[in-house]
Structure 1
Amino acid sequence: MLTLPALLASMDLSVLFMAAPWLAADLAPTGPQLLWIMDVYGFLMAGMLLTMGALGDRIGRRRLLLAGAAAFGTASVLAAYAPTAELLVLARGLLGVAGATLAPSTLALLRGMFADPGQRRTAIGVWTAAFTGGIAVGPIVGGLLLEHFWWGSVFLINVPVMALLLVLGPVLLPESRDRISKRFDLLSALLSIGAVLAVVHGVKELVHAGPGGWLALLAGFALGAVFVRRQLRLPDPLIDVRLFRDGGFSAAFGGYVMMIVASAGLGYLAVQYLQVVLEIRPFTAALWQLPTVATTGIGIALSTTLVRRVRAAVIAGSALLVAAIGFLLVAQVEVDTAPAAVMAAYSVVTLGTGMLVPLAIDLIVGAAPADRAGAAAGLSEAGSELGGALGIAVLGSIAAAVYRSRFVPGELPPVATETVGSAIAAADALPDALAETLIADAQRAFTAGFTTAATIMAALLALTAALVTTRLRRSCVSGS
């Protein structure tokens, strides 16, 4: 029961990957609008997770989970029938706010239900398989639905599952909350939301060379500093920021976020590559994602087995290096690379992801006191959703910048150079010879952006592997 909300929350981060070209043709969004459609869900979810995790500690995690399920189902219907790009961005934002109640509530309930460390590690492994599997399954489900229905159908699958949770949740799930009533600090909640949203908006604007990027970043860091200072002074803080003083905790959190950045960004670009460059139908492209689901599961099983005998530092560093190697392989793809070769490289990345994620989550959640389980789970999932949103925004923006640089300004209508989907849609109005040239140019430009983003991420993951391994070796949580 607790895996269903985690599965859907992560699926909604990736379920639109397959629909991106269809959205571009139907709603005609600009390049920035398309990225907002893809990542506003993750941005708002990341911004609200700390608040929702702490709120669940106070009012009851099951109560918050059920309220969030009702809101998630309603927002899904609004997104499915959005008639414009602007309204779809709004609906996706509402989904993000509702989704922020799901992941921390389920993870905190698990912490309370499994006090034994071994059982908790196994339960978190199962939960992680559902959550990370949702990111991989999202494009598969989306591709299947797009073969038979319109793009809005990818949201309607949430409705029956949320209805089932509302019916069975009160019967099957125990209520769980902090035994000591604590005051909910609204100002801390607002500061955390403002800091996260300002930082991610700033990163997005910097990648697009927006003039407000630096101002947004400075504002976000300033709000974050005020938030941290306030948490250190409060008797009942929203999140215990002193946890970051532990080198193992901060290393696990940092490595976790960087891995999610990498895997989410790669997923966003890879499914578009399969559809618009290799010209594979949505459902067939979705089936090519199945090896990534399998290798994620293999990575999770490998990690949960090895952690009993091998130091966490070795497992974490190895996982990040495996993912870096996968990105180097992805960086070798060309416009005519066989899909099997592309997905083999992608599967190396997901193997590393599966190895790292359950270990990192166990270190993060296990480091917090039991009465702060919701807040710690919220912090963990805030890192995940923030990483997912940043991965789509940053890797997507790098790829988009390279894509646009391959076209001569003024040579084509601006809409044709915004996204590869827009270029393909614009080609329908051109004579056959010109249409073929435009599509071929767009495919080469997209591939160049894809491989550039993969090369940059490989270097970042290798650097992260060195830092995480060093910090975990020095910490008290690095033992087997």
Structure 2
Amino acid sequence: MRAEPYEPTGSGVRATRKEWVGLAVIALPCLVYAMDLTVLNLAVPQLALHLAPSATQLLWIIDIYGFMVAGTLMLMGTLGDRIGRRRLLLIGAGAFACASVLAAFSRSAQELIAARALLGIAGATLAPSTLSLIRNMFLDERERTLAIGVWIACFSAGAAIGPLVGGAVLAHFWWGAVFLLAVPVMLGLILLGPILLPEYRDPHAGRLDIVSAAQSVVAVLALIYGMKHVAEAGPGWPAIAAVALGLAVGGLFIARQKRLADPMIDLSLLRHPMIGTALGVNIMAMFGAMGIFLILSQYLQLVLGMGPFEAGLWTAPSGVCFAIGSLATPHLVRRVRPVDLLVASLVLAAAGFLLLTQIERAPLPVMSASIIMLCLGLSPVGTLTTDLMMRVAPAERAGAASAISETSFEFGGALGIAVLGSIVAATYRVNMERLALPEAGGELPTTELLATARRTLDGAVTAAQQLGGPAGEALMQASHEAFARGLVFATLACAVITLFAALVARRLLRGVR
């Protein structure tokens, strides 16, 4: 049966209870996405010990999800326009629940990577129904800004809940149980969505461009594969070939978008100075926001020796600070110019990243203070840049603008995990290659133990336990120092990129009122 299209309120008319209830339902997939990501951060040490992935496989397990979401997001947005945003939301919820079960019971690193890729595709079906529906449901300027703040705060709430719930689950169950947390939430969405969420369908929806979606995914994954190969094994022909393939396919993708009458990515929007700048600033902000917490979760568990629940408690303030900052932004912009608030927020976040480079001096006090600074600093960025893009985009291109905005969140976060993870992996590998230990007893020869330890930090923990004695202690200390040095380099890169984003915003967005 054909669903009736959702009719938004008229321009300047305040939203009714129907729109606010719809916003509450829209929040569910955002909450689950953030929970799934932060829960996996805590599970990394356990799954690494059980599945024994290489450094490259471990990074793929983490960020294949984000790249698949970013690569298929706009394709799914068009599909939602055709079949209905609510219908796509419910289909995606069912697919997400099934893929979560597959991930939970994976028996190898390859199976988990494949399951995470399916989760990414399912996640891409959930995302397009959120921001575009907000655009149609809240046309009053202040209400739309508040609704976007609530939308972004849901990601923060999921990030806050994820470590606490995930830590409690990991304390009593195996690592795969963390994926099952999304199943009841998705089942609840399937039950409540048809009752509470209005349908919306675009009668003039564009065609499905599967070729462009495939080109974007291949280009990004090839480039990231080359970068990760360099991080794990150093420069070589496989890395060069992967980068060349990525660049070639990326060029074909851009050429195709320019040629199509209805492109998957409207490059003309990116030529708008404010939209292009806001998009770039958002990607740079998400780069540090998502990437650094994966590394911190490993540092707390594998270097400081915390359990998953304790590590979750120490990182939980990040989600609280993000939620506070996101919800406070609509009130702050009434008193402060958006560009001034944006620049000040980015500078505060950069200061938090710089403070984090001193983590070896006093790990927990430094980490706690820096988390508060960088989360409060980064939390307004998404609201401000998203609202700016939706405000200046032509009304007839609002759907394309919202798709690009959502993609920037996913792509920036996944890129941050990939690049920062590669920086840590490369720094760790270079430092561990210089390590030399005296001969010691053990079930395996020392050379094989060292080869295991040089691959990943969790491998070093396992090797040190098998090696035992003074040599095992020396190996453990050396691996901790190598990982901490990689963390310092990664946070320094985040500080530089965030400061650059502040300079770009100050120079190019100063005309925004």
- Give TM-score, length-normalised by structure 1: 0.93
Paired residues for 1:331-410 under 5 Å: 331-334=357-360, 337-369=362-394, 372-407=397-432, 408=434
Which of 460, 468, 472 is the matching residue for 2:497? 460
Paired residues for 1:413-428 under 5 Å: 413-428=450-465
Once the 2 structures are TM-superposed, how far is the Cα of residue 463 of structure 1 from its aligned partner? 1.5
Alignment deviations for residues 157-206 of structure 1 (CA, whole Å, 9 cap, x no partner): 11111111111111111111213244333333333333333343344345
User: Aligned pair in 2 of structure 1 residues 55, 239: CA closer, same or farther (>3 Å)?
Assistant: farther
The gaps in structure 2 that reach 5 residues or longer are 1-24, 437-446
Q: Is the 8 A contact 1:57 1:371 kept in 2?
A: no
User: Aligned pair in 2 of structure 1 residues 262, 423: CA closer, same or farther (>3 Å)?
Assistant: same
Provide the rounded CA distance (Å) in 2 between the counterparts of 1:394 and 1:185: 29
Alignment deviations for residues 221-263 of structure 1 (CA, whole Å, 9 cap, x no partner): 4434443443344333323221111111111111111111101
Q: Which residue number corresponds to residue 441 of structure 2?
A: none
Q: Percent identity?
A: 46
Provide the rounded CA distance (Å) in 2 between the counterparts of 1:428 and 1:330: 29
Q: Is the 8 A contact 1:80 1:154 kept in 2?
A: yes
User: Aligned pair in 2 of structure 1 residues 298, 182: CA closer, same or farther (>3 Å)?
Assistant: closer
What is the identity, as a one-letter code, of the residue corresponding to 2:350? Answer: A
Q: Which residue number corresponds to residue 218 of structure 2?
A: 194
Provide the rounded CA distance (Å) in 2 between the counterparts of 1:11 and 1:221: 33
User: Aligned pair in 2 of structure 1 residues 404, 160: CA closer, same or farther (>3 Å)?
Assistant: same
Q: Is the 8 A contact 2:72 2:217 kept in 1?
A: yes
User: Aligned pair in 2 of structure 1 residues 374, 137: CA closer, same or farther (>3 Å)?
Assistant: farther
What is the identity, as a one-letter code, of the residue corresponding to 2:285? Answer: M
Alignment deviations for residues 344-383 of structure 1 (CA, whole Å, 9 cap, x no partner): 1122111111121111122233444555544433322221
The gaps in structure 1 that reach 5 residues or longer are none
Paired residues for 1:200-215 under 5 Å: 200-208=224-232, 209-211=234-236, 212-215=238-241
Provide the rounded CA distance (Å) in 1 between the counterparts of 2:390 and 2:458: 41
Bigger shift: residues 436-445 or 228-237:
228-237
Q: Is the 8 A contact 1:206 1:214 kept in 2?
A: no
Q: Which residue number corresponds to residue 303 of structure 1?
A: 329
Which of 333, 354, 377 is the matching residue for 1:328? 354
Provide the rounded CA distance (Å) in 2 between the counterparts of 1:24 and 1:76: 18
Q: Is the 8 A contact 1:80 1:155 kept in 2?
A: yes
Provide the rounded CA distance (Å) in 2 between the counterparts of 1:42 and 1:97: 9
Paired residues for 1:24-423 under 5 Å: 24-208=48-232, 209-211=234-236, 212-334=238-360, 337-369=362-394, 372-407=397-432, 408=434, 412-423=449-460
Once the 2 structures are TM-superposed, how far is the Cα of residue 277 of structure 1 from its aligned partner? 1.7
Q: Indicate the structure (1 or 2) with the bigger Cα radius of gyration.
A: 2
The 3-state SS of whatever aligns with 2:107 is coil
Task: Name segments (4+ residues, structure 1) moved above 6 Å.
Answer: none
* CA-based RMSD: 2.1
Counting matched residue pairs gives: 475
What is the identity, as a one-letter code, of the residue corresponding to 1:70? Answer: G
Provide the rounded CA distance (Å) in 2 between the counterparts of 1:213 and 1:462: 30
User: Aligned pair in 2 of structure 1 residues 466, 218: CA closer, same or farther (>3 Å)?
Assistant: farther
**Structure with larger RCO (C-alpha < 8 A, sep 6+):** 1
What is the identity, as a one-letter code, of the residue corresponding to 1:249? Answer: I
Provide the rounded CA distance (Å) in 2 between the counterparts of 1:137 and 1:249: 32
The 3-state SS of whatever aligns with 2:510 is helix
Q: Is the 8 A contact 1:52 1:378 kept in 2?
A: no
Q: Is the 8 A contact 2:149 2:329 kept in 1?
A: no
Provide the rounded CA distance (Å) in 1 between the counterparts of 2:221 and 2:468: 44
Provide the rounded CA distance (Å) in 1 between the counterparts of 2:321 and 2:290: 15
Provide the rounded CA distance (Å) in 2 between the counterparts of 1:215 and 1:431: 41
Q: Is the 8 A contact 1:14 1:139 kept in 2?
A: yes
What is the identity, as a one-letter code, of the residue corresponding to 2:450? Answer: P
Provide the rounded CA distance (Å) in 2 between the counterparts of 1:117 and 1:218: 45
Q: Is the 8 A contact 1:191 1:224 kept in 2?
A: yes
Q: Is the 8 A contact 1:207 1:394 kept in 2?
A: no
What is the identity, as a one-letter code, of the residue corresponding to 2:453? Answer: A
